[in-house]
Amino acid sequence: MHLKRIELHGFKSFADKSVIEFQPGITGIVGPNGCGKSNISDAVRWVLGEQSVKSLRGSNMADVIFNGSEDRKPQSLAEVTLVFDNEDRFMNFDYNEVEITRRLYRQNNEAEYLINKEPCRLKDIVDLIMDTGLGRDSLSIISQGNISTFADSKPEERRGMFEEAAGVAKYKKRKLESIRKLERTKDNLDRVEDICLELEKQIAPLKRQKEKAEVYLELKDQLQSIEVSVLVKEIENLSESLKDLNVSLDFLDKEKVTIDGQILLNEQQNETLKKKMYDLDQEVNGLQGQLLTAMNNVNELETQKVEIDTNRKHILENTDKEDLQARIAQMKAILQDAVNEYNDRVHRYNETKEEKMDLEASQERNRNDMMALRQNIENLNLQLHNNRARKEQLIDVVENKSGYSYGVRSVMKARQSLNGIIGVLGDLLESDPEYELALSTALGNAVQFVVTKTDEGARDAIRFLKDNKSGRATFLPVETMQARRIREEHQVVCQNTSGYLGVMSDFVRYNTPIDSVVLNQLGHIILVDTLEHASALSRATFARYKVVTLDGEVVNVGGSLTGGSYKQQSSSFASKRELEMIKEVIESQEKEMTEKKSKLNDLDNMAREISHNLLQKQMSFAKLEVVVTNKKSDLQVAKSEYENLTNRSIELSEIQSGAQDNQLINELNEAKKRRDRLTEAIQAKRELRMSFVNENDKIEETLRASRSHLREIQSDMTQKQIEKAKQETELSNYLLRLNDEYKMTYEYAKEELATEVNMHEAKETVRLLRHKIDSLGNVNLQAIEDYQDVSTRYESLNTQRLDLISAQDSILKAIDEMDEIMVTRFSETFEKINKEFNIVFRNLFGGGRAELRYSDPDNILETGIDIDVQPPGKAVQNITLFSGGEKALIAISCLFAILRVRPVPMCILDEVEAALDVANVERFAKYLKEFSSETQFIVVTHREGTMEECDLLYGATMQQKGVTKLVSVKLKDAIDLAQTA
């Protein structure tokens, strides 16, 4: 290995970039004083890691940077690169050429180190050159000052050169590092032992608490695995039971409504029948009085007629047979009576027939009215059924949130166990119908956002959703939401733009104090009437706001448009409004149904009355048919007899008196007619009243049965409602326990954790586990984590403690081994150098003796080096008494002795022979030549004897003041050129 070149730029007097090439052998650098030749050795020392500014002949490190001259400006950095030939791998570096570079910047006094142009640390450079003979304390760089102080140095100060020669510097450095590491290890060990002692005091109580907590958690896990299944089963059973109870209650409620309606109708019918019966009783009483009068009148007339008939019979019996005229007259009277009675019966027959036909027509009309009314009731009942079904759907959407996401439904179900849940935004807002579509479009998915009081409440709800895998939801905390509004200048633009209606937040109503949420979601959304006006307003406000129309069309931020037809309107606002409307419709339809049923009942009563009256008329009509037939037959007989008598032309004078008889007959007929009609009317009314009595009895029986059934239904409903309330309370308690104790929803517990269990055994197990848990008393669950942390920390520290003890032992062992190696190597090398020192000394001084001795033989590792020399003819005991030249020669003798024992690849000698006379300079130069085959010498000199032995000379000059320039001359080429000349 040898130094191939030095590249300097901005270092001390080397202002310009200078490259100094070297070759094996001796290279001399000559020049007048102050020309900067010693700056070369300073540059080598600087690159190899010299940190002492004093050794570099400066007051601070920035002094190595070219500081300018009269003609040159100062440089901003100093850079020096040493290039070594490493083909023999003398340096432990796998490159044929090694470049070591150091830079220093003036601005921040920052230094850079590079090896083969790669950044590195100073330590890397020191490690690279360690034990190569290029170290800071080695023989690689020796100046005149080193030589002059060598003899005067203390024994301990001389030791460094010998350590470098012995190759123990790296061991010494490692030992120092090991000692420092040992000190740090001991400090760490003391701290670790103190901490371990403190942790040992904490572990025992924490362990007891931890074991208690683990028992608690184990019991809690067992309890959870069983109780969750029990709770799920209980909830499942209660849900099924409640479902059955609701079905039963719905059925009972419908049956109750039906029975209530029937009772109401029956009571109405009962009251109607009683009123009719009362009216009939009054009518019958009146008719009975009239009938009595009529019967008395008939009796009187009949008595008169009997008397007349008796008189006529007497006349006929006592009249002469030849007196036919009397018989004819009598027969004529009889015929006239028969005609009158026949005509009367025919007239009554026709009247009854007309009344019967009127009743039949009334019955047909009543039947048609009832059919139409029943059809109306059936249609109304179908509408009512559909509306009730729609009402249930809307209740499910509005109250049970079926249209919302799973996460929102889960939060709202568990809102009682969560903190600060206000509600879903869509449920908290109301708007007029004309703005609902615009509001729904403006909110979009935000209609399902959950409003909370605080940010913490929102985080709790999110944790609840995560723990139970119950979906996702978006939350709007009132306390943290920031209102968003339209800027004032844009408000002015809006107010002066056609179609502008206002800001969307102005068209909603809400009872809960959620102003910040409403303004955040709607305070910056503009409402206009049409899409054309929306586009114009968006352009006027530079498309910075969302603009919504009444038809639900949108001009988005940035200018994009959204619109089209809606398949169906299903916003929560429309659902709420539809629910209110359908409730009103159902109420109106139920009222209409009651009225129609009441009217149907009246028609039914009327039908019964018409049917009864028709039956009576039919019976009267049938009787009159027989009477008319009989009267007709009597008339024909009387007519025949009269004609026979007439044919005999018999006239009787008494026939003249027949007019009075006819008058009596007419009156009697009229009286009988009136009596019969009154009798028929009374009989009809009595039969009708009896039918009313029978019907009333049936209604009363039905009412008694209905009321009894209603009481049973009400009792059953009360029991079921009590049972329902009880089961709902139990279900709520189970759900709350599942939520509060285990932070689970029923759906998650059923899907993830529920198992089939024997309920009786499981409940008993739960009771025993809870008893065990209660018997544990206060449990510190944090103790498990604390114990784990303390235990882990103790184990880690204890491991560190053991590692530190082991490391301490290892370091001590390594120090002992290094001490042994250093003692061995130093002793061996020292003996060799001591032997060579005597030889070189005798050669350079021409005789005498020289010896190196330990100042402390018992402590080889730290002993200093004493020099005991005696030049020929002198008996000087103290080396400090020698002259300067003798001291220099003694130091040079020691230098060459070391080089004999351990040659170095490169050595820079900076005017070390300056104090020698000519003869000694020549001997010094010859020794250099002798060692130049193994060591590359760079000699800074101005002695001729040394120059003569150099293979290459560099002349240092300052052509420009303050800036060093080098000129090279190879002496061999110069000698050959001179001999040729």
Q: Are 248 and 653 in contact (CB under 8 A)?
A: no
**Is residue 80 classed exposed, middle or buried when 0-12, 13-18 and 19+ CB atoms within 10 A define those classes?**
buried
Distances (CA, A) of 462 to 419, 425, 465, 734: 12, 17, 5, 22
SS3 770: helix
From the list 56, 35, 32, the residue with the least C-alpha distance to 44 is: 56
20 beta partners: 6
Q: Are 269 and 699 in contact (CB under 8 A)?
A: yes
Q: Whose structure tokens read 């006819």?
A: 662
Answer yes or no: is 864 a known binding residue: no
Answer yes or no: is 848 a known binding residue: no
SS3 94: coil
H or E element in which residue 246 lies: helix 169-318
Answer yes or no: is 556 a known binding residue: no
The whole-angstrom separation of Cα 490 and Cα 543 is 11
Distances (CA, A) of 50 to 54, 55, 172: 10, 8, 18
The whole-angstrom separation of Cα 661 and Cα 316 is 16
Task: Calculate the dihedral angle through the C-alpha atoms of 406, 408, 414, 419, rounding to the nearest 10 degrees.
Answer: 150
CA angle in degrees (0–180, nearest 5) for 268-269-274: 100
Please list the alpha-helical segments (H only) found in 846-877.
Answer: none
What spatial distance separates the first Cα and last Cα of the chain, rounded to whole Å?
Answer: 37
The whole-angstrom separation of Cα 794 and Cα 787 is 10
Task: Calculate the dihedral angle through the C-alpha atoms of 822, 827, 833, 837, rounding to the nearest 10 degrees.
Answer: 140
One DSSP character per residue, 931-959 reads HTTTSEEEEE---HHHHHT-SEEEEEEEE
The whole-angstrom separation of Cα 509 and Cα 755 is 48
Q: Whose structure tokens read 């018989």?
A: 327
940 beta partners: 29, 910
CA angle in degrees (0–180, nearest 5) for 975-980-981: 100
Answer yes or no: is 33 a known binding residue: yes
Answer yes or no: is 120 a known binding residue: no
One DSSP character per residue, 490-528 reads HHHHHHTSTTEEEEGGGG-B-SSS-HHHHHHHHTTEEEE
- Classify strands 906-910 and 936-940 as parallel, antiparallel or unpaired: parallel
Please list the alpha-helical segments (H only) found in 877-941.
Answer: 884-901, 918-931
Sequence-separated (6 or more) residues with CB below 8 Å from residue 616: 680, 683, 684, 687, 688
φ and ψ at residue 121, rounded to 5 degrees: -105, 160
Answer yes or no: is 36 a known binding residue: yes
The b/e string for 440-477 (b: 16+ C-beta within 10 A; e otherwise) is bbbbeeebbbbbbbeeebbebbbebbeebebeebebbb
The whole-angstrom separation of Cα 154 and Cα 127 is 28
From the list 861, 840, 866, the residue with the least C-alpha distance to 157 is: 866
Q: What's CA 937's distance to the chain center, in Å?
A: 78
The whole-angstrom separation of Cα 107 and Cα 753 is 71
Number of neighbouring beta carbons within 10 Å of residue 770: 13
Phi/psi class of residue 41: alpha, beta or left (left: φ > 0; alpha: ψ in -120 to 50)?
A: alpha
Q: Which residues are annotated as a binding site for ATP?
A: 32-39
Q: Which residues are annotated as a binding site?
A: 32-39
